[in-house]
Chain A
Amino acid sequence: MTMNWLFSMRLAFVLLVLLSVWFALGVSMSEQDAYRQVLRSLNDLPMSQWMQSLVNAPIVASWLAGLFGLMFLLGLNTALCSWRDLLPTWRHKRWRSPRIMMLPIHILTLLVFIFHGVDLVFIHGHDSVVLHQGERFNSGRYQIELVKVDYRNDASQITEDEKGFSPAGRITRRSVEVFDPRINNAYFKVSNGEQTVSGHAGFLRPFNWDDLYITVTDFRVPYQQQAKGVQVKVLAVHNPLINYFFICYCLLLLSLLLQGLVFWRRSIKKGGRKC
């Protein structure tokens, strides 16, 4: 039996439609609170521990199984189609072919798929802690100390009441007039046992050393702890893949722009855009 259908664009079309429908189902599923909570719990767990959350949510489990199945088929179809239909353009060095950028676009899309998959299965190494000045914690092979908090906005705006609410509200809802992320910093000292480095991190401005990213996700003054000063919520992330991930994404973007350029030049040559 011929397996040509596995290589075909028709299968790609069907899979793309099915995946779109699947994501649309995902959007409507996430509108319901019970399912949203299950999905949210998956964000903080490696894939090996998903069963704990999914055992009581068969609909979410079925949706995820369908999603992975469709993604696998689309990945396979992309790889086979690239090998049979797109690789010959490069193998025969047809550099002037309008299809020249198709292979990099498809391969980079596949790589992005793969990085998403690896990220999903293996990379969930992050620690979230709250620290006052002078406190420290361990994250993986790193010891991280909060040396100083340099908070320049009005701290009374982030001082919480007994219910945990502050006048400025959640960090993502704060006005730049009461909280400007560009002027508020936390100064960290990080050691891996052999070397020690130090640097600033703030909200949306992480401090990076090797595979470690330290991000401040909140500045706050807890109820009745004004004497201790501003407390910082810190996220330490270990993700050795992240640079490769974004390099692939940027190369994909570049390939698409080059494809646009190739098409535009070709349309000029054909007389489509003569002025």
Chain B
Amino acid sequence: MNTNADAIVIGAGIIGATTALALTNAGMKVLVIDRGNIASGTTSAGEGNILVSDKAPGPELDLALRSRDAWFEIQEDIGGGFELEAKGGLVVARSESGVVGLRALTSVQRQAGIDAQDVSEADLRALEPHLSHSITDGALYPQDSQCQPMLAAAEILRAVRMRGGEFIAGANVTAINTSNGAVTGVVTSEGTFNAPIIVNATGTWAGQIAELAGSSLPIAPRRGFILVSVPTRKIIFHKVYDAEYVANVSSGEADLQSSAVVEGTQSGTILIGASRERVGFKDGIDFEILRVLARQAIALFPILADIQLLRAYRGFRPYAPDHLPVIGEDPLFKGFWHNAGHEGAGIGLAPASAQLIVDGILGRTSFMDATPFSPTRFTRGEVS
């Protein structure tokens, strides 16, 4: 099969979709392939977070700040349809040390350009009337947003198709062809497709795709569970989470870490996260973790004790050893670009990551220096 694409994007999750849109908008003819269907990996296993609040100053925060605004630009560009909402994040501290840590964090975040507002006890009640009375300190992040990630991926890919791109579902990549140190195409269960540029946007599975070309990427799964309640009246108004979450996000521990993240959705359900553990692609439901999540959520919102759990799901965050995404050209093969490893922040970071990829491919100056995300950092020995 010959599709004469300028670029092939492997992966139809949020990273693949936004990358395909950015390439298309730059004038390239793009083919997107996925072994499953739209959003069949980690994209459908999260809450749709677009957060700036959970990041300390550094390259990832610069990426997040740009990406947050880029989400609203995509909404303008393609006409929305994916429930994008600046609902605001509310981070609460439950201990003395937590309060001190949170104040210190908001202070440096403000210097880095985040709108981070320290919230008094009275204001906390006004923002979240059902919050536990034992909680007296918090910080509000009006920039924190949310979207429905499956719809976002689907709507974005629809725009790509309408603008001349192509999407093939159920195409499992079995080989990546290279010649003279450059990629030339992919062999899939649905045929062979050739293009001088191949973007690996396969998230948690990006290491396997890199290996098919003869390269490597140290991306591993970090499992997480989410509880979903029955639909209720609106009782939680922001994305509310425990300040400990910020520490857990950047932790390298393999053991289970869990801190409450609670929010309502447009469909009336309440989502409760977030656990993190490195146990490989372990299947099944771990009821010990569900119990911890329920306990932590009730500690924030005692009213949740009487609300029924409807279902639970798990996902595998794509995780690199230094917790930074991998965005850039492969050190061994020209034309082979990686855009993966965004861990639990993939939805939020997707549009700006896509922009870095396109600017890299076209050799343009981008909104930030992409060196911290380069895949060469693993081979240079900077990260072990």
Q: Do A and B bind each other?
A: no
Enumerate chain A interface residues (CB-CB to B < 8 A): none
Enumerate chain B interface residues (CB-CB to A < 8 A): none
